[in-house]
Amino acid sequence: MDGYTVLLLKFFDADVNYNRFNYMQKIGYRYLSEYYNNLTGKGLKDIYNNLVNKYLHANKIKQGKILEIACGTGKIIESFAGKHKTYGLDISPWMIKEARKKNGKSKYFVADMTNFKLPEKFDAIICPFDSINHLQIFSDWKKVFASVIHHLKEGGIFIFDFNTLKKFINIDGRVKLENVQGGYIVMETQREKNFCNWNILIFKKENQNIFRLFRERVRESTFPLGRVTNSLKKEFTIMKIVNLKKERIFIVCQKKPDKKMSGMVLKKDEGNF
């Protein structure tokens, strides 16, 4: 551990009181957006690529329309750009700004995933990186499902993942230090019942010995799998559920087709990717 790291940890222990924050959950990530790609792993990107491509291939869709909601910096949707028509939306203008820098082939919108209205219908809509957990009440989760239904083509597919209560329990009290380009990020997690707070300090290096401090808080909530699937079944057919170490659940579901439509080729699948 180098000298800078020791200094940062001492500052974190001595000077942080997150009760002083006036944080607006819906438009967060103002400062974290610059480093977001460094904090998200490659594993989820591969999972979503495999799931979406499997569906498109099964339905012989060579150039589909794919929307990522709560897209952040567009790390996942950009992997489909070029081959497919790709779109992303996020409520954070700072995230969308970063996404547009990284990927000029996709169309991006600043919009709320609980109530978005786009002039398009999509073959697939995805919501990765436990983004839906950011919504604090379950009625907002249901609003997301309703907005997705409205924007899917008949037989279109919706794929999302969310953190479980076990995940919140396992990471409660954890402090993680990330060395990122241009500084350091310290993340402390605190669980409160079915909620979990990520208290984040961003130390942006200004010169050799001086860092500018930015603070953010990300708050997530989680709900039982049964409650989620019961809500989905009103408009979707559940095609696949994968529970990774009982900490992160992936759900693949299909918009129920019109009776005149034949539906998609992809069969129900359980357990693995």
User: Looking at the predicted structure, is the pLDDT value of residue 203 above 50?
Assistant: yes
> Which residues lie below 8 Å from residue 258, measured CB to CB, with a gap of 6+?
154
Q: Quote the pTM value.
A: 0.86
Round to whole Å and give the CA distance between 38 and 36: 5
Given a cut of 50, whether residue 5 has pLDDT beyond it is: no
Minimal CA–CA distance to 132: which of 151, 152, 113? 113
| C-alpha 148, offset from chain centre | 15
% residues pLDDT > 90 (the chain)? 72
Average pLDDT, the chain: 86
Nearest to 214 by CA among 29, 27, 76: 29
- The rounded radius of gyration (Å) of the Cα atoms in the chain is 19
pLDDT at 3 > cutoff 90: no
Angle between helices 225-232 and 138-151 (to 10 degrees): 30
**What is the bridge-based pairing of β-strands 65-69 and 152-163?**
unpaired
Higher pLDDT, 134 or 32: 134
User: How much is the pLDDT for 31?
Assistant: 75
pLDDT at 35: 79
Query: Picking from 53-57, 231-235, 260-264, which range would have the lowest pLDDT averaged per residue?
Result: 260-264
